[in-house]
Structure 1
Amino acid sequence: MARTREFAQLLARLRETVDRHIWVSRYGMGTVGNGSTSIGGLLRSQHVATQANIALLSAADNQDYSYIDSNFQPESLQAWGKRACVINVEMKRYQEFVLRGLVADGYTVIDAPDADSDEGGEIIKEVKAASNELYSGELKAIARSAVPEAIADSDDISDAQLKKLQNQRAKTPAERHQQRKAELSHRYEVEVTPELVEKDDDGWYTQLRLHYYLTLGREFLTKRDGKRAKGMAEAGENCIWKPDFNKGQMLSSVLLLENLNLLQFLTPEVQLRGSDEQMQEFKARAVENRYVIKNYLNVTITEKFTPIAIAQKLLDKIDLRLSYVGRLGPRGKRECVYKFLPADDGRDGIFSRWLNRELV
């Protein structure tokens, strides 16, 4: 229960004997692997992904990567699988595990609905307002933090300079803000704003990276994955740790989205209906590959989902959505219509800088 215990440890830092008002999400974030709570299913998915990643990379890079030994420390992988399943269970029942842990620590837990309605409502508002204020202050502090003097003379922050910042053990709040800003500047290569910090907190980098290699950076993907695979194999004397190897490979996810023809939804102003033939074909292909989608993208697809719902879930992996137009059509045959509106979030500028970096 390491992740849920972190919550209790954070709460315990307030030493005063005062009431603590908290809000806990029912579900946690950050499952491990494909999110499975079965150790057999989790380890099997890792093995299948590793073999597929090696085969796909060998074919795309026109090189033989079969020399890589993926059976590295099976006993450690077994232990990893057990721990990962515990974390996945906790994330699916996050609130329950957090509250159970607080009770075990001796806290008296009172649900907000059990308190006086007027008082409880005011407390909830105050907690939300305080939380938003603190988070907003943190975002602004990171964005306006000064670049450390050691790298102030350069517009670009090298990997070595950033590593030096990260390896500094004892840091003041100002130094932590400086490090975070340096990391974001190096990652996105644009001005660091409070909005960018918040987006990064929500996992924007992973989404943008997938979108970039699915489109503008597609020709550089094989080289990127090959370099990472060779680096891991060299560091491990031809042995790799499956979870890290799979996490670092993107070719399989991109090929999967290409096979599903996800980019067909990114044509502006084209109206999309669930009854369209192309949408029905898309759903059939997605349902047919639902286990592969779950394994590589950690997205659950079922026959019950509409074609639009499936498209929205997959587009969310690159932080895009279809916009609702309305219910159109003749009386008795009206159905929901959607269309794609290009995102005005600055990603085009980021992609341009990433492309320039690839071309250097």
Structure 2
Amino acid sequence: MTAANPPAGVPDPDFHERLTALAEKRMAAGEVYGEAAADPVNLPMIRHWAAAMGDANPLHTDAEAAAAGVHGEIVAPPAMIQVWTMPGLAGPAGRPESAGSPIDDVLAALDAAGYTGVVATNCEQTYDRYLRLGERPVPATRLTGLSGPKRTALGEGYFVTWNVTWYSEGERVAEMLFRVLKFHPGERKTTPDTRQPYPLGPAVNDDTAFFWEGVARGELRIQRCADCGELRHPPGPVCPSCRSAGRTYVVASGEGEVYSYVVHHNPPIPGWETPFAVAVVQLPEGVRIVGAVVDCAPAEVGIGMPLRVTYRQKDDNLILPLWVPRET
């Protein structure tokens, strides 16, 4: 816990002390158990998740292959653990009547004080065993950290950390550490000759520099293995197929179609007006890329919608590849 003066833009001088006291109370409470999964672990949900993630492991979907495997039966992908108990629109596990979790009022207090911006900074999962069909895992959440206020490139904010542990049939099956930055967007001053700086610029490194250099030239570049020729996105240091570190790229056609999408309503995102649609775009080159769909209402976006890439200047230094409807 970091003691500090109240951050700029927060009128209540006692806010930090009250927030700290609230967080300490919630941390002292330890684990708070939620509702068991509304639906048991089931094959249809596994199939949908595996298709969306490109997980072709037959141990998760093929009964015959799973029976001959080490588990002797179908098991759920470990990384799917959070899916089973994610809250729906009506509340945790789709149930309006719920006690909530120990982080709810801490996050609500930050929202009320103007810390409406949010970005996830850490997600670390540990798996103890696989879930089998028919199990109903139970989540237990505990608040484990509050740090701030801290100055960041996005604005002053607090880092909030919590852990979720899932239990099934009396034993722990998985745990997740999750951390977000709740920040105060504030107002950025600009001169008449400059654009307002875009607050969520991409991280550019040795693996991604070629992509953003292409965007600046109006090219949608896809990484290709220099040895086996496989295309991959997002880009990475090593080919997942042949493990070669040799890399080159191809320039995609710039066309695609909506493979999957979400419409973002809340929380507010700096630089964007909600609601807006974000799609997983299937490219004819065989890879998928994530991007916002613009120049149409979110309600018009649908699976299979033909798109083409467009490039929009977000500030004086950043151009983003976005997607617009394509006439067929």
When normalised by structure 2's length, the TM-score is 0.28
Which has a greater percent of strand? 2
Q: Of Structure 1 and Structure 2, which has the larger fraction of its residues in helix? A: 1
User: Larger Rg: 1 or 2?
Assistant: 1
